[in-house]
Amino acid sequence: MSDPLPKTIDAVVIGAGIIGASMAYHLTEAGLGVLVIEKEQLPGTGSTAAAAGGIRAIFDNELDIRYALETRAAMPTFEERFGWKPEFRRHGYLYTARRESTLDEYRRDADAGIKCGTGARMLTPEEVPEIAPILDMSGIVGAMFGPEDGYCDPYGVMMGFLSAARKNGARISYRTQVTGVKTEGGRVTGVATNRGEVSCATVVNCAGPFARKVAAMVDLDIPARPHRRYIFVTGPFPQVPKTNPLVLDQDNLFYFKPESGTVIMSGMEEEPDEPDDTAVRWERSEGVAEKALRCASVFSEAGFARAWAGMRTLTPDRRAILGPTPVDGFFLACGFSGHGICQCVPAGRVVAEYITKGKSEDLPIEPYFLSRFEEPQEG
């Protein structure tokens, strides 16, 4: 259901994807009146619809790990709290390596995780088949396994947040495109849309791959650039057990996971383009099929039944951009660089805390500020 536009509201959230949904929920929990504005007729049709749903706490730094751990920890009680099933399957993340240098990177990731309790550990090549017997082990020099990680249904998580936000009084206007952000004296005063204007003192840019275009409305150039990635889906494929971990074959640039009796796989493409060009280039399927065969010869029996493409919005350091901007009242929660599902819970919570209290309570937000990309000033 789409709500009419109010004349005035405390905060406008631009975008009803998983991040805008989390943002709306957490802002309403903090007592703000919230309007979510979404240009499409339904929520979650952008990057959120394209995601593989992986939730992993494997990162190379403590902060990204702690953000991901909060999302992972929220999964078991999510349905109880929000009324929607996240369908979290804790089947693990298995990162295989074909090069010693990749194994060294995994060791660093596993070490970074020990302090935070990710549960990730290194595996010898002999141990890998115990976790994923279908893999072809030729060329595999070792692996890292995160047994507590897994994959969810991003739609369920997003809808949980959105329905809870609505219960808290949030309004959601679909088929409404933000066309401008109004400012006066360097601070936000409202938004202009194709259906009229709304006055507000706070705007949060949760526009996913469109975040750079939205930021340009206040003359900000943010380094969050959309890159296309494809997912190819096999027909029914019981050869991969339903409990298989998500396998990421880093040196082959390939991953796969079971999904509803099929297998979804990606050649981990990073094709920079316009945010709305999500057309599938079927010619990419050949390369993905080759990678699949290198990973597990059983995939010679598979064929692709369908495919989709979506945008991952990458920043130069592959970390999200959260928090304030030089324009008072204009905040960012974007540039998730391929891990917006992993970090959706704290991303909304921490930015909402920053907006309402001027600081984040337990998780630091400052390292994610836009200001980290500023050129150091001479003298």
Ligand X SMILES: Cc1cc2nc3c(=O)[nH]c(=O)nc-3n(C[C@H](O)[C@H](O)[C@H](O)COP(=O)(O)OP(=O)(O)OC[C@H]3O[C@@H](n4cnc5c(N)ncnc54)[C@H](O)[C@@H]3O)c2cc1C
- In the complex, the residues that contact ligand X under the rule CB under 6 A are 14-20, 37-40, 45-48, 50-54, 177-178, 206-210, 214, 229, 231, 310-312, 334, 336, 338-342
Separation of alpha carbons 47 and 363, rounded Å: 25
Q: In the complex with ligand X, which residue's Cβ is closer, 104 or 274?
A: 274
Q: How far is the CB of 173 from ligand X (least distance, A)?
A: 9
Query: What's the maximum distance between 2 C-alpha atoms anywhere in the chain?
Result: 64
Q: Cα 320–64–363 angle (5° rounding)?
A: 95
- Give the 3-state secondary structure of residue 250: helix
Q: DSSP string of 120-165?
A: -EEE-TTTHHHH-TTS--TT--EEEEETT-EE--HHHHHHHHHHHH
Q: How far apart are CA 222 and CA 321, in angstroms?
A: 9
DSSP E strand stretches across the chain: 11-14, 34-37, 54-55, 93-97, 121-123, 142-146, 150-151, 171-173, 178-184, 187-193, 196-199, 202-205, 225-234, 246-249, 254-259, 262-266, 271-272, 304-314, 321-324, 330-334
CB 343 to ligand X: min, Å: 7
**Shortest distance, position 111 Cβ to ligand X, whole Å:** 22
* Closest separation in Å from C-beta 126 to ligand X: 28
Q: How far is the CB of 319 from ligand X (least distance, A)?
A: 12
**Least spacing, CB of residue 252 vs ligand X, in Å:** 17
Give the nearest distance from C-beta 378 to ligand X in angstroms: 35
> For residues 240 and 245, what is the distance between their CA atoms, to the nearest angstrom?
10
Q: Which pair of tokens denotes residue 234?
A: 């096999």
Q: Which is nearer to ligand X, 104 or 282 (CB)?
A: 282
Complex with ligand X: residue 110 or 334, whichever CB lies closer: 334
Rg (CA), the chain: 21
145 three-state secondary structure: strand
Tell me the sheet residues that pair with 142: 97
Q: Tell me the closest approach of the beta carbon of residue 335 to ligand X, in angstroms.
A: 9
Which one, 39 or 302, has the nearer CB to ligand X?
Answer: 39
- Cα separation, 229 vs 51, whole angstroms: 10
Q: How many alpha carbons lie under 13 Å from residue 325 in its C-beta half-sphere?
A: 27
Nearer to ligand X, 75 or 141 (CB): 75
The smaller minimum CB distance to ligand X, of residues 141 and 363, is found at 363
- State which residue, 38 or 353, has the beta carbon closest to ligand X: 38
For residue 229, the SS3 value is strand
Residue whose CB is less far from ligand X, 142 or 275: 275
230 touches 309 (CB < 8 A): yes
Is 21 or 131 the residue whose CB approaches ligand X more closely? 21
Closest separation in Å from C-beta 318 to ligand X: 11
